[in-house]
Amino acid sequence: MAESVRNIYKVCREQAGYTQERAAELLPCSVRMLARYESGECAVPDDLAYRMVRLYNSQFLAVEHLRHVSHLAQEILPEVDDCTLQTAAIRLVNRVLRFASNHRDRQLMEIIEDGVITSEERPLMNDIMADITEIIRACTEVRIATKGD
């Protein structure tokens, strides 16, 4: 597990203003176990991660926890940045405008009109899907930023 992933629990706790002792008391969890979770020595159980998300008021923690404990979630949830609502909203609008100005909506409709993606269409479809993934990422960042308020 990468250092940044292991420490997401610690980072979110500290951002919320809790000491290990106080967080352990409120979760409830022993200080020793919380330290082990934060260091990556032990995997954080989903029910405890859920309590951390609620206590620390961090939707970012929820997404990061899921992405790093589940291969399935990695396939579905985009990697996101923990950013301000302003940054997230600007990023979303920019991604949507770029999608529209590149006529990706029309290209997508042309590709899928016959219900078949040909080998010639595949590269363009992959590019369109990459753009859609960026829009989903930006939407998720807006959602996370609004939940933190």
CB 61 within 8 Å of CB 12: yes
* CA-CA-CA-CA dihedral for 24, 27, 29, 31, to nearest 10: -10
Q: Does 1.10.260.40 match the CATH number of domain 3-76? A: yes
Residues 72-101 pLDDT 10s: 998 888 889 989 999 999 999 999 999 999
- The pLDDT of residue 149 is 47
Cα–Cα distance between 114 and 110 in angstroms, integer? 8
- The pLDDT of residue 78 is 87
Round the average pLDDT of the chain to a whole number and report it: 92
Structure tokens at 90: 């600007």
Residues 44-59 pLDDT 10s: 999 999 999 999 999 9
pTM recorded for the entire structure: 0.76
What DSSP string runs through 62-131? HHHHHHHH-HHHHHHSPP-----HHHHHHHHHHHHHHHHHTTHHHHHHHHHTTS---TTTHHHHHHHHHH
- The pLDDT of residue 2 is 47
The pLDDT of residue 9 is above 90: yes
- The pLDDT of residue 1 is 41
Compute the C-alpha angle 9/54/24, nearest 5°.
55
- The pLDDT of residue 147 is 75
Share of the chain above pLDDT 90, in %: 82
Burial environment of residue 49 by CB neighbours within 10 A (0 to 12, 13 to 18, 19 or more): buried
All structural domains of the chain with their residue ranges: 3-76, 85-147
Residues 14-71 pLDDT 10s: 999 999 999 999 998 999 999 999 998 999 999 999 999 999 999 999 999 999 889 9
* Amino acid symbol at 18: Y
7 membership: H or E segment, kind and range: none
